[in-house]
Structure 1
Amino acid sequence: MKLNSSIKNITLSNNLASVNEANFVTTALDIFQYQYQHNQVYQQYCQALHIHPATINNIKNIPFLPIAFFKTQTIATTGFEPAIIFESSGTTQTINSKHLVKDIGLYEASFNAAFRLFYGEPANWCIIALLPSYLERNNSSLVMMADKLIEQSGHRQSGFYLNEPEKLHQTLQQLENQQQKTLLIGVTFALLDFAEQYPIPLSYTTIMETGGMKGRREEITRQEVHGILRHGFTVNKIHSEYGMTELLSQAYSAGNGIFKCPPWMKVLVREEDDPLSCLMADKNNIVSGALNVIDLANIYSCSFIATDDAAKLHPDESFEILGRLDNADIRGCSLLSL
């Protein structure tokens, strides 16, 4: 099966911004057909479910590949030598997921377009990353994203701050005095440690947590985390990023744990005990279940992933993460419950 025009427009120009509400469904269905034909693991999964691609004419009927497959199988659409292999953080007791990335440009196009959509030009920000555990690895998608955004920021005080809490505190004070718009993006346990050791009132800084206690601290709810951070930084809201190794796109929350997706990403929910079910929110109802993600940037991997997160889907297609499903492995980027 050849790439049709809707997929070519994304892959050849890395133009994810060409996806919109009007053409999302058509593009998703085209990608499903393409991945069924050229992704052996995904095809075998669909066949095991006795699903024939000719019967799929609605995104609600597309089979979503369990995310655990990324731990044990090579998930690739077409044969290629990966430009990079992203690997999940996990713990010493878990098997890490691996995401083979054919085109780094697609990943960069995705996080750049999403950041601009939700936060504007990186050059308008001083971007500070507090990601100590991720910097210990060479294959973290989060570190790559932060590194590229820091580079585009161009601010002399943008950068990674590793084991430098006093320097970070002084830097934030200077930026506040300059009334410089700043983004402090960090893994949850590091932000909590910093807020408790170096509390500082912030008026021009946006705090963004990426999730993850990674065994460093006792697990607490997202509400409790945000409460501690709001108090430590004297801010009204804590922003959040929802992403994972198996995806090339991210959703963002501007507060209260309510996430919104960029146009080329969509979430659905399923019954926890029925992988083929699809629950849709309507204008009057909020639905809860296990989270399914459609990520059209995952053209050369799998765009249809059944995660191990429990979620609440709102009528406007925003969503909340409620926690992990029972018996799911603890993940570095999604350890919090609401």
Structure 2
Amino acid sequence: MTHALPPAMQQVVDRLLGFVAQDGCTDAQFDALAADLFAFQYANDEPYRRFCQRRGITPRRVTAWRDIPPVPISAFKDATLSCMPPAECERVFMTSGTTRGDVKGRNHHPTIAVWDQSMQRHFARCFMQGTLRLRMFTLFPDERELRNSSLGRYLSLATRSFGAEGSRAYVSVEGGLDVDAFCDDLAQAQSRGEPVAVLGATFSFVHLLDAMAARGLRFVLPEGSRLLDTGGYKGQSRELPLDAFYDALSQGFGVARERCINMYGMTELSSQFYDAGNAVVPSVKRAPHWVRTRVLDPLTGSEMPPGQRGVLAHCDLANFNSATTILTEDVGVAVDGGFLLLGRAEGAEAKGCSLAVQEFLEAARA
């Protein structure tokens, strides 16, 4: 059910929809919208305001996106970061709870329209690459089964927006992965010379590849076919090094590694990042024009020079209701065109992330 938004929130949403619909933006335009969104969140999101006050940051001191204090990603598990009461939000996405048992992070969306447009615009550019529609084979349950899953929404929206006739999900909550139906339908598409897209969680691809190997199956998908994986293994399957994983995808489906695209996203954000194909790993992750990324030293908060590793902090303007700027627990390196994703924070980097969470909690509870 869609909720009527308060006038101030509707103005924010309308401005964002127009901004995302643009073909790009200048740094000054990005900074101006980032500062305005920070002022909106500072006024309406109490835990975030307390965190900013503890750091001595107010809207008067924010003139550019780099001035915005990043919220540690784990804060979404311990506080309600929302400018609107959660009960009045159209959709709430929840994390899988894999890192802290049943404790789940929540990202509240007063309207899903901004999230949807963000997904569609960048997906069209980075995955569809000029193709209007492809038959989509999805290795994840439909969002109707997992209403609080951002990945469920992502894949279902991809199918509705860009899927050709015959697109469907081959995983259900009750039945799991329907290997036989998937392989039968993919073989038919292959025999007809029909390009297809296979999209799903990384661990689902591992299960599928194992099942195909047990059946002695390999495919050579028609020209124009492509694959998308996301989310990593999450302890749901055996883990493969990146090179071995993309070699296995390429060999199992007969698709060049350049057409094996990884999406990097998270429940706590409203936009996604894509690489340009995994001929070489790690590949450069690319953001849309409404997202900026810094690589930080989590102990000091200072920005690392290009080429030096640190923890990724993303400023996602589409994340208008909670906090635009998130300090992740992912390590990366800034490079031309984006960043390299190197894995999870460990050692001193992980300690720095933990201290940031502690600081947030102390401020939010003050």
TM tier, smaller: 0.7 to 0.9
SS where residue 278 of structure 1 aligns? coil
Q: Give the CA deviation at 1:314.
A: 0.7
Q: Rg larger in 1 or in 2?
A: 2
Q: Given that residues 182 and 206 in structure 1 are in contact (C-alpha distance below 8 angstroms), is that contact kept between their aligned partners in structure 2?
A: yes
Q: Separation in 2 of the partners of 1:239 and 1:200? A: 18
Question: Percent identity, aligned pairs only?
Answer: 26
Structure 1 equivalent of residue 295 of structure 2: 269
Summarize the Cα distance change of 1:52–1:213 in structure 2 as closer, same or farther, 3 Å threshold: same
Structure 1 residue 5 displacement after superposition: 12
Higher helix share: 2
Query: Gaps spanning 5+ residues in structure 2: where?
Result: 1-6, 172-176, 213-217, 351-366
What TM-score does the superposition give when structure 1 sets the normalisation length? Answer: 0.85
* Residues 326, 95 of structure 1: alpha-carbon distance in 2 compared, 3 angstrom cutoff: farther
Quick check: 1:222 aligned with 2:238? no
Which residue of 2 is the match for residue 138 of structure 1?
147
Corresponding residue for residue 16 of structure 1:
20
The alignment status of 1:43 with 2:49, answered yes or no, reads yes
1:96 to 1:47, Cα distance in 2 relative to 1, 3 A: same
Looking at structure 2, the residues matched to 116 and 154 of structure 1 have their Cα atoms a distance apart, in angstroms, of 12
Q: Please state if 1:255 is matched with 2:277.
A: yes
Go from structure 1 to structure 2 and tell me whether the alpha carbon gap of 1:182 and 1:32 turns closer, same or farther (over 3 Å shift).
Answer: same
**1:17/1:263 contact within 8 Å kept:** no
Residue 315 of structure 1 is matched in structure 2 by 336
**Pairs within 5 Å for 1:7-86:** 7=12, 9-11=14-16, 13=17, 15-18=19-22, 20-22=24-26, 23-79=29-85, 81-86=88-93
Distance 1:79 1:267 in 2: 29
What per-residue deviation string (whole Å, max 9, x for no partner) do you get for residues 295-320 of structure 1?
A: 1111112110111111121122x122
Q: Secondary structure of 1:279's partner? A: coil
What do the CA deviations read for 1:24-76 (whole angstroms, capped 9, x no partner)?
Answer: 22211221222222221111111122223322223222210101110010011
Residue among 183, 206, 213 paired with 2:226: 206
Change beyond 3 A, Cα 1:174–1:134: same
**Deviation per CA, 1:274-303, whole angstroms, max 9, x where unpaired?**
2x322353xxxx232101011111111211
Q: How far has the Cα of 1:133 moved from its partner?
A: 11
Decide which moves more: 210-219 or 259-268: 210-219
Identify the match of residue 184 of structure 2 among 163, 166, 170: 170
Q: Is 1:159 aligned with 2:185? A: no
- Asked if structure 2 preserves the Cα contact closer than 8 Å seen for 1:266 and 1:293, the reply is yes
CA, structure 1 residues 121+142, in 2 after alignment: closer, same or farther (shift >3 Å)? farther
Counterpart amino acid of residue 219 in structure 1: E
Give SS of 1:291's match. strand
Partner of 1:334: none
Compute the displacement of 1:136 (Å). Answer: 6.1
Q: 1:4 to 1:89 in 2, by over 3 A?
A: closer
Return the offset for 1:109.
1.1
- Using the size of structure 2 for normalisation, the TM-score is 0.79
1:112 maps to 2:116: no
Q: Give the Cα separation in 2 of the matches to 1:222 and 1:293.
A: 23
Which of these residues, 241, 246, 265, is aligned with residue 243 of structure 1? Answer: 265
How far apart are residue 132 of structure 1 and its match?
5.3
Distance 2:183 2:220 in 1: 11
- The one-letter amino acid paired with 1:264 is W
Contact 1:7 1:27 in 2 (8 A): no
Aligned to 1:324: 344
Given residue 277 of structure 2, which amino acid in structure 1 is its aligned partner?
G
Is contact 1:195–1:233 with CA below 8 Å preserved after alignment?
A: no
Is the 2:294–2:312 contact (alpha carbons within 8 Å) kept by the matching residues of 1? yes
Deviation at 1:151, TM superposition (A): 2.0
Q: Give the secondary-structure state (helix, strand or coil) at the position aligned to 1:124.
A: coil
